[in-house]
Amino acid sequence: MATDPKARPNHRIYLEILRSMTPEQKLLKVFELPEAARKMSQPELLTRLLQILRDLGIESMITGSYASSLQGEPRLTHDIDLVVSLSPESAAQLIDRFPPDNFYISKQSVDEALRLKTMFNVVEYASGDKIDFHLLTDDPFDLSRFRRRRKADILGTEIEVSTPEDTILMKLRWAELSGGSEKQFRDALRVYEVQHGRLDMTYIDDWAARLNLVDAWRRLQSEADPD
């Protein structure tokens, strides 16, 4: 069962603090969480990933819990999720940038992801941190959210991040696909609360209907306490 945000002590103060934080401050907060004490390699892994993508000219978009941490409530995540526009040639170059002594990456999984437009991952042995590469598809929502991505400066590096509207929709979609994940739903809820007043509600209404997320979207609005 979801936690009622109205029952949370000092909820309005908490939201104001989140709204006052820059995206970089929120990301650094993720690394400061007690559970993340052993995961000091994650900022370096993210910085390395962004540098590789920039060097290879690969278009990308940060999504998942990194995006919701930047736009809503910071929380620990073991995965870096991103959507990439990847060709077989750039995929081969990408594989070469992750040394097999330090990273696990399956060329077979990469080839299959390219063929089926799905995903593959890279795992850092030392930390267990994982990068999930979701290949850009021809799905209308996939194309829409990729086209609308925004630039942000994080850790001294320019990155492109899913818009708050698309982060909310994708989190609701993942919640539905995973059988009703409250963690994914809460991420969407916090983004909605923190970004309230700056969201394109018509866009979310339209895509919620097209993605069969109307019930989840209505539930989120009824449980939210953004004021």
User: Each residue's pLDDT tens digit in the chain (227 positions)?
Assistant: 344 544 455 766 566 766 676 666 655 555 555 444 444 367 788 888 999 999 999 999 999 998 999 899 888 777 899 999 999 999 999 999 999 999 999 999 999 999 999 999 999 888 888 999 999 999 999 999 999 999 988 777 788 999 999 999 999 999 999 898 999 999 999 999 999 999 999 999 999 999 999 999 999 999 998 87
Residue 125 maps to a domain: yes
Q: What CATH code is carried by the domain that includes residue 23?
A: 3.30.460
Does residue 32 sit within a domain? Answer: yes
| 72 lies in some domain | yes
- Asked whether residue 178 is assigned to any structural domain, the reply reads no
Residue 185 lies in a domain: no
Whether 221 is in a domain gets the answer no
CA-CA-CA-CA torsion sign (195, 198, 200, 202): positive
Residue whose tokens read 């370096």: 44
In a domain, 215, yes or no: no
- pLDDT value, residue 74: 86
Q: Could you tell me if residue 100 is inside a domain? A: yes
Query: Per the structure, how many domains does the chain have?
Result: 1
Q: What's the confidence (pLDDT) of residue 13?
A: 59
Q: Which domain holds residue 32?
A: 10-163
